[in-house]
Structure 1
């Protein structure tokens, strides 16, 4: 009798699968894009994979690309739900692409529904379609990948691995969207129509919640990441360290950054703000076509020239982010935290482009490969 009583109590306590969602009843959206619509509205484009069953062998996958005009993302979701069989489900979205023109407006309203929905995938990447529309990106067909979500997500993950992009997802971006004193940047992608490929084209700079229209070029993006103290698995840079050789290739060196130490110090005197940004890099030479590194003083000369070149390039990058009024270094956040009285008196959007930021890069060459 006691066993029966225990069994009944246990059964009453079991909740069962009350919140399950059957895969056969839903259509998974793996990538979505937003563009400017008419009369202040938006156009949402989604890609939905579906697999047709086969009697013999694996099933055939088809990708359905659908667009609809709408007033809001939720309105677009409801309209798309009326166009497809089963139920629209964005819980597995990998990539969200914004058209360049739309990104120049406040982007938070576009993401609000995703942040409020507990089923949203906040690990999804955000990207901007440069010189084109998100619809064009989502509709791109590439020979190497069947799914555009897999293609773009892989492209962005590779950019993170090689220290070209921050790798921030929707969850990490949320704090920077709502907190004053810090801005952010988002990867930009571009369609190469001739090759039918999508390429990483730099980092788009944001001020508050709007894309400024300015970007950090791909060849600058590794140093740009290092200035923020962010480093992927590989950080490789090529720099011109000489003008002595007629053959241009002999004037360059390529290094892998083994270790990067960023130090940002602030001096606040009244409303006069100065930031000293120092990078200490330990690098390995992986390519030096000029050779003869065994010559006395050769490595020291490269080290000195490389430090000067990277410092000058850092000054250009700092000039770009200040011109775009994008505080990606979070200097405002530091002032707010350590100098709250000064922060209350500042109009940071007006003040930030005028403050003094002095970068300095110090390079230490630890290795130069197995060839002298």
Structure 2
């Protein structure tokens, strides 16, 4: 018994403690970071809760420096606690910052084992500072608010699911470009989703899609998420009729052909829907459904044509057409010259809409 006791006593002397232990009481748990400026002159803002009883109360630290790491060190010097980003939910970047080279600004996060790769990234219209000044308007902790805000648009197939890890892969891909949430606000108002910020490689092009155009990019390039809803006004016989519907399924086939020196790509889309708004009713009759289905199909084809052109003009292949060409049509793929082919190719959509359900009324 004495030998065993002596063994445990001596052995305990050689056991190391938790040398890298970090206690919550000693940390400022950052949930949202906002970044203005660029390498050489950066200013960043770090938001963290200030009250355990009221999650809407938070403190925003600011830091200045020439590098992203120096900025964090400067902000850390202004806090009574050490900055910790292990629970970071969202990073906001000023659009002017993203236009230069977003990856260089994200390098500091990829090199840290603390950084959560699930954190969301968004591009802001104007300075990020006002996007962190929401204390009187949001009902929850600011990090949770921005995470839920972006996820809600992902659930409705408006934003493709993107985080730090996915963004890094796309910024180095030749066959598909990155698209990030583009948000806007005025004064102390709540942020608004304005669509998808289009990237060409590692740089924001300065062009963003509308919400509807972003939804078509997501449906074509990533597939339908939990929901997808659309709404149009039909000008029929001098009367404007609301036509709203939810997408049940979104199936697509792609056809690629070479016409001379150009590539032609056609999407054949089948889209069964359930009507959610149509005041004239009588959708149980085929002769009533047919004109509506044709109207919806033509409007979607027209909107998709605008979206394709906007992406091509920005030289941003957010749908991932290049991945399709490289994988299944290698004879058309030209390494390093894909964007030259992409911006001049013909892209069309043929949409077939079927009203499968008319809602609770006929």
TM, length-normalised to structure 1:
0.88
Compare 62-71 and 324-333 and name the one that shifted more: 62-71
Cα offset for 1:43? 1.2
Aligned to 1:202: 195
Cα deviation 1:303-355 (Å, max 9, x = unaligned): 12211221111111111111111101212223333444643466223221101
Question: Partners in 1 of 2:335 and 2:292 — Cα distance?
Answer: 46
Does 2:45 correspond to 1:45? yes
Question: Partners in 1 of 2:280 and 2:186 — Cα distance?
Answer: 34
Does 2:252 correspond to 1:262? yes
Q: 1:186 to 1:142 in 2, by over 3 A?
A: farther
Question: Partners in 1 of 2:336 and 2:107 — Cα distance?
Answer: 29
Cα offset for 1:360? 1.5
Question: Partners in 2 of 1:8 and 1:302 — Cα distance?
Answer: 82
Q: 1:139 aligns with which of 133, 140, 148?
A: 133
Q: 1:231 aligns with which of 220, 224, 228?
A: 224
Question: Partners in 1 of 2:138 and 2:74 — Cα distance?
Answer: 32
Question: Partners in 1 of 2:92 and 2:304 — Cα distance?
Answer: 29
After TM superposition, the structure 1 = structure 2 runs for residues 335-346 of structure 1, keeping only pairs within 5 Å, are 335-340=325-330, 342-344=332-334
Question: Partners in 2 of 1:19 and 1:165 — Cα distance?
Answer: 38
Task: Tell me the secondary structure at the aligned position of residue 297 of structure 1.
Answer: helix
Gaps of 5+ in 1: 53-57
Cα offset for 1:185? 0.9
Instruction: Check conservation: 1:204, 1:214, Cα contact below 8 A.
Output: yes
Question: Partners in 1 of 2:110 and 2:230 — Cα distance?
Answer: 37
Aligned to 2:210: 217
Cα deviation 1:218-262 (Å, max 9, x = unaligned): 24333332122422222110123442243x2x2x31111111112
Does 2:348 correspond to 1:358? yes
Cα deviation 1:120-142 (Å, max 9, x = unaligned): 01111111111x21122123334
Question: Partners in 1 of 2:29 and 2:335 — Cα distance?
Answer: 49
Aligned to 1:33: 34
Cα offset for 1:59? 7.0
Question: Partners in 2 of 1:20 and 1:280 — Cα distance?
Answer: 55
Aligned to 2:296: 306
Instruction: Check conservation: 2:46, 2:61, Cα contact below 8 A.
Output: yes
Cα offset for 1:7? 6.6
* Count of residue correspondences: 361
Cα deviation 1:12-32 (Å, max 9, x = unaligned): 997653433111121111100
**How big is the alpha-carbon RMSD for the aligned residues of Structure 1 and Structure 2?**
2.7
TM, length-normalised to structure 2:
0.90
Instruction: Check conservation: 1:142, 1:197, Cα contact below 8 A.
Output: no
Compare 352-361 and 261-270 and name the one that shifted more: 261-270
After TM superposition, the structure 1 = structure 2 runs for residues 30-109 of structure 1, keeping only pairs within 5 Å, are 30-36=31-37, 40-51=40-51, 58=53, 62-109=57-104
Task: Tell me the secondary structure at the aligned position of residue 224 of structure 2.
Answer: coil
Cα deviation 1:83-126 (Å, max 9, x = unaligned): 11121111111110011111111100111111111110111111
Q: 1:366 to 1:296 in 2, by over 3 A?
A: closer
Cα offset for 1:214? 1.1
After TM superposition, the structure 1 = structure 2 runs for residues 147-226 of structure 1, keeping only pairs within 5 Å, are 147-193=141-187, 196-226=189-219
Question: Partners in 2 of 1:306 and 1:140 — Cα distance?
Answer: 39
Question: Partners in 2 of 1:227 and 1:133 — Cα distance?
Answer: 32
Compare 144-153 and 300-309 and name the one that shifted more: 144-153
Aligned to 2:360: 370
Gaps of 5+ in 2: none
Instruction: Check conservation: 2:61, 2:79, Cα contact below 8 A.
Output: no
Instruction: Check conservation: 1:192, 1:199, Cα contact below 8 A.
Output: no
